[in-house]
Structure 1
Amino acid sequence: MIQYDLVVVGSGPAGRRAAIQAAKLGKKVLVIEKGTRVGGVSVHTGTIPSKTLRETALNLTGWRERGFYGRSYRVKQEISAEDLRRRLLITLDHEVEVLEHQFARNRVTLISGKARFIDTNTLEVEKSDGETLQVRGESILLAVGTKPYRPDHIPFDGEAIIDSDELIEIKELPRSLVVIGAGVIGIEYATIFSALDTQVTVVEPRTTMLDFIDREIVEDFTYQLRDRNMKLVFGQAAEQIERDPGGRCRVTLQNGRVLVSDMVLFAAGRVGATDTLNLEACGLEADSRGRLKVNPETFQTVVPHIFAAGDVVGFPSLASTSMEQGRVAARVAVGAIAKEPQKYFPYGIYAVPEISTCGLTEEEVKERGIPYECGIARFRETSRGHIMGLDSGLLKLIFSLKTRRLLGVHIVGEGATELVHIGQAVLNLKGTVEYFVENTFNYPTLAEAYKIAGLDAWNRMGEIKKEA
């Protein structure tokens, strides 16, 4: 039995960042990955595939050029599932190659197999060839990620009734699609297929969607979706899903309405992939959704030398935050100092259009009783927006009237997930409205929207009168 300073279960964003961090601190590190290739869900079925699919769809459809050439404009007239998969495979191969090189360069040992606890320090690994071995870790990090929630009453068949992991394997692009669930994953895929000219209907049992996003941004986003004929059905749950003799899918809602489509994507949540870990043997227990409870500062579980990070610990379930969680957990696990991360981090939704947000929403500011003012800029007000043919896109800044500090930045539109980092920096550096008014931005850029929004708020707030 080989002893390691840190054993990491899972090689997704949290696992790989933790492993490399511990290795750079001179520790002996093992990564156990149940998949045939490193990278976890993020690389193979989640983050990278969905973003690659999005970019491919926008490129092949000519989506970004339709402001100039009309809605019928397309770069490739007949787009197939194979067109999408071809670019995806190239991207995934590159990601895996980079990760394998990082592990090799940092002398991280990698074993392919399924891990389960024997006791609090020992894991049994069943390798793909059937061989089993046992490893011990002074510390253990669980970064096993999540898998799609698949309730028993949904007749998944891998062809027409599928989950989000199966979506990248489809053989043909559907002419019509019903998406069950208006969470981040459901909305991302719904809008991507809408951009591919698939008729999309989204079904959500709640009366709202994306509740953690500023309401004004969600309203603008919703208007854009409905403007391109996406159907949004809120306040109705899907009671039954079945395929008729002709192979089409029928979704029956609570109110009796029946939706007929070529394909159904069930994207109503994910569950932690903890069911095969034999957690009882190490004194841990997952919640009803397979998630593990941790100390949010150290990522320690109730067993102090066992850590958990990434999607398996719940919100915000972002690749970016998972990486930081893994890094912090690894430093604590090997006895190194772990600085507290910056307060504000960006949240990105890679829908069409993108949404990104950082800081407080207007609703949160109101709840806290903070006197505030907002500044708004529309991308069509910028020269860069004219050059790109944008007729939509919105940037919203929220400022404190008392301190004049930026409280939140919220963006919907082209490049939102890139633009948000300017606002994130100002938030974490405690900048004020004057930064945007007095700073110079490259011209012409979409970043100019920050100056426009800053001036919009500044005009309402009034200038500070300095004493002579």
Structure 2
Amino acid sequence: MSYDLVVIGTGPGGYVCAIKAAQLGMKVAVVEKRKTHGGTCLNVGCIPSKALLHASEMFEEANHNFETLGIKTSKPKVDWKAMQGHKAKVVDGNVSGIDYLFKKNKIDVHTGVGRVLGAGRVEVKAEDGSTSIVETTNIVIATGSDVMPLPGIEIDEKTIVSSTGALELEKVPNRMVVVGAGVIGLELGSVYARLGAQVTVVEFMDKILGPMDADVSKQFQRMLKKQGMTFKLSSKVTGVQKKGRALEVTVEPAAGEAAAETMDADVVLVAIGRRPYTEGLGLAETGVELDERGRVKTDAHYKTNVDGIYAIGDVIVGPMLAHKAEDEGVALAEIISGQAGHVNYDVIPGVVYTSPEVASVGKTEEELKAAGVKYKSGKFPFSANGRAKAMLHTDGFVKVLADAETDRVLGVHILGHGAGELIHEACVLMEFGGSSEDLGRTCHAHPTMSEAVKEAAMATAGKPIHM
């Protein structure tokens, strides 16, 4: 059978692209090496980590806030097996949902490793070694990304783990060293810190969450230190040795001649980033061009240099985010069907799912200064928000950045409880070119956390009421 479209990879970008293409009338097939769909995100990334994150937050809440709220209970304990069971149930529910959507949209599934043989031909190698050829008019590479290894340190997914192994630990470790203070390292490190582990984060740069707004980064680090996490910035891990049941971690300055130091750990989490999964797909043999970082080169319509072959998601340039891949999947399906698909890369939100959360969209102050853009800013703290006080979640703030002349909002940065939900009114505003005055004059229900967003916008356009 020949298809209009074959998508290799059923992560957020791939499965969404396949479904949208089917909805637009195309005959679609997907190729997936896993036995379950959803890619890294649903199986060993976004979804399982959020299940553990929520459980750890509830444990923290019961330990520290219940008594203040007038709730008396016995001291809570961690049932790690039950927590893992909750995580597995959440993953299974999401994965089975994709199975249902594929059937509903009449999408054929080919299980095995996909390899491009040339324009219009994809080889599928099954687990038993057998191969089959799938013919199609269009091919989409949506194979996602893989863990970036740390030179000289072998990940065994038992004691030296990637994010995948960190989700499957046999127990909560007493001591954990996290290599990398990016999104993944801080999310998973904070989960184990809340559950009782002593967590030390080693970061090569001089700040956590490198690309994030500097104000957010500084205040967020102070919050995490207050929660018990330790940070070694401008440092690098140069070795991990097994010493009996423990690990000896060697840490050196990122630059300079200062002496190395060692620390003991039960688990080391390597979270220094991810790299595009483009090896073994037959791209070089087919003539598909890659850049110096192994990403597939595409034009503005996700087309490679080979006719009929496209790429989306983590394998192409841009932030490695599930929702960015999803939007690209929809846009590409529309483009292939003859419509005008488009993604606005200036309005791609980023969220760090910690406690409290960090969320941002658009430009940071540092980026605006570097570009020579004249801007104005406004901030509003959650400590002045009535709902935040009632919920005991007064840490953090909202910052709004707008063009100095036109007042058009250029960036919004939120540190605080529920930031990952609050950021989206900024996304809608920016998608339609709104101003800080537009946001400040929009009625917000009282009392809500979202009023802090309104007040920050008012501070940008003029003056806030409650400060």
**TM-score scaled by length of structure 2:** 0.92
Cα-to-partner distance string for 1:321-353 (whole Å, 9 max, x where unaligned): 110111122222343332454742211111222
Matched, 1:357 2:355: no
Classify the secondary structure of the residue corresponding to 2:54. helix
Q: CA deviation at 1:449?
A: 0.4
Q: CA deviation at 1:451?
A: 2.6
Contact 1:31–1:109 (Cα < 8 Å) also in 2: yes
Classify the secondary structure of the residue corresponding to 2:164. coil
CA spacing shift, 1:170–1:289, aligned 2, 3 Å: farther
Q: CA deviation at 1:236?
A: 1.3
CA spacing shift, 1:9–1:74, aligned 2, 3 Å: farther
CA spacing shift, 1:13–1:234, aligned 2, 3 Å: same
Match of 2:400 among 375, 378, 397: 397
Q: CA deviation at 1:241?
A: 0.5
1:257 counterpart residue number: 261
Classify the secondary structure of the residue corresponding to 2:208. coil
Match of 1:319 among 322, 337, 350: 322
Cα-to-partner distance string for 1:48-74 (whole Å, 9 max, x where unaligned): 11112211211233269638639xx99
Please identify, of 217-226 and 202-211, the stretch whose mean Cα deviation from structure 2 is larger. Answer: 202-211
Once the two structures are superposed, the pairs formed by residues 412-423 of structure 1 within 5 Å of their partners are 412-423=415-426
Q: CA deviation at 1:400?
A: 2.5
Contact 1:377–1:449 (Cα < 8 Å) also in 2: yes
Cα-to-partner distance string for 1:57-93 (whole Å, 9 max, x where unaligned): 11233269638639xx998732143232111111111
Cα-to-partner distance string for 1:419-448 (whole Å, 9 max, x where unaligned): 011111222222223224332211110011
Match of 2:298 among 294, 299, 316: 294
Q: What RMSD, in angstroms, separates the aligned Cα atoms of the two structures?
A: 2.3
1:238 counterpart residue number: 237
Classify the secondary structure of the residue corresponding to 2:65. helix
Q: CA deviation at 1:153?
A: 1.6
Q: Distance in 2 between matches of 1:93 and 1:23?
A: 24
The letter for the 2-side match of 1:60 is F
Cα-to-partner distance string for 1:90-120 (whole Å, 9 max, x where unaligned): 1111101211111111101011111112223
2:168 counterpart residue number: 169
Contact 1:65–1:389 (Cα < 8 Å) also in 2: no
Classify the secondary structure of the residue corresponding to 1:54. helix
Contact 1:34–1:113 (Cα < 8 Å) also in 2: yes
Identity of aligned pairs, percent?
A: 31
CA spacing shift, 1:290–1:389, aligned 2, 3 Å: same
Contact 1:362–1:398 (Cα < 8 Å) also in 2: yes
Contact 1:60–1:74 (Cα < 8 Å) also in 2: no
Contact 2:394–2:416 (Cα < 8 Å) also in 1: no
CA spacing shift, 1:284–1:370, aligned 2, 3 Å: closer
Cα-to-partner distance string for 1:391-416 (whole Å, 9 max, x where unaligned): 30211111223112222110011100
Matched, 1:17 2:20: no
1:329 counterpart residue number: 332
Please identify, of 108-117 and 8-17, the stretch whose mean Cα deviation from structure 2 is larger. Answer: 108-117
Q: Distance in 2 between matches of 1:459 and 1:116?
A: 57
Matched, 1:157 2:161: no
Q: CA deviation at 1:365?
A: 2.2
- Long gaps (5+) in structure 1: 462-468
Q: Distance in 2 between matches of 1:17 and 1:60?
A: 34
2:117 counterpart residue number: 118
Q: Distance in 2 between matches of 1:74 and 1:311?
A: 45
The letter for the 2-side match of 1:206 is M
Classify the secondary structure of the residue corresponding to 1:237. strand
2:411 counterpart residue number: 408
1:138 counterpart residue number: 137
Q: Distance in 1 between matches of 2:133 and 2:75?
A: 53
Q: CA deviation at 1:289?
A: 4.4
Classify the secondary structure of the residue corresponding to 1:137. strand
The letter for the 1-side match of 2:207 is T
Q: CA deviation at 1:176?
A: 1.2
Matched, 1:227 2:231: no
Please identify, of 148-157 and 378-387, the stretch whose mean Cα deviation from structure 2 is larger. Answer: 148-157
Contact 1:178–1:263 (Cα < 8 Å) also in 2: yes
CA spacing shift, 1:451–1:318, aligned 2, 3 Å: same
CA spacing shift, 1:142–1:64, aligned 2, 3 Å: farther
The letter for the 1-side match of 2:183 is V
Aligned residues: 457
1:56 counterpart residue number: 55
Match of 1:275 among 250, 272, 279: 279
Q: Distance in 1 between matches of 2:66 and 2:318?
A: 36
**TM-score scaled by length of structure 1:** 0.92
Contact 2:166–2:188 (Cα < 8 Å) also in 1: no
- Long gaps (5+) in structure 2: 253-258
